[in-house]
Amino acid sequence: MALQLRPNCEYCDKDLPPRSMEARICSYECTFCADCAENKLHNVCPNCGGGFVSRPIRPAREWRPGVSIEKQPPSAKRVQLKYGLEDVAAHSAQIRNIPPEDR
């Protein structure tokens, strides 16, 4: 199963197209921009408590048959935070000092 490649940052709603180098994802593919992941969330996913990694680029060009942005298009469904900003900040503060591998 391919990544959904969600179109925006859940926190600030910035566009994160498939070739963006700023997209960060957790293991459930909760998606944020690099600035929010680092400076707002401190590497704590507000939905699951896990950490983030850089979302890889999906090639626009079909370098191998059947695999490209055209063949597996990105999701168009924008996702918004489902928790309030104060809740998210408290959640991050509780978890941020625990290394991701110990969460």
* E strands, the chain, in order: 23-25, 31-33, 53-54
Structure tokens at 49: 């408590």
95 touches 87 (CB < 8 A): no
**Amino acid, single-letter form, for residue 91:** H
Name the one range near Zn ion by CB under 5 A: 36-44, 51-59, 73-81, 87-95: 36-44
Name the one range near Zn ion by CB under 5 A: 25-33, 58-66, 73-81, 88-96: 25-33
81 touches 91 (CB < 8 A): no
Q: Is 12 in the site for Zn ion (CB under 5 A)?
A: yes
Q: Which is nearer to Zn ion, 11 or 55 (CB)?
A: 11
Binding to Zn ion (CB under 5 A) within 43-102 occurs at 45, 47-48
- Contacts with Zn ion, residue ranges (CB under 5 A): 9, 11-12, 14, 26, 28, 30, 33, 36, 45, 47-48
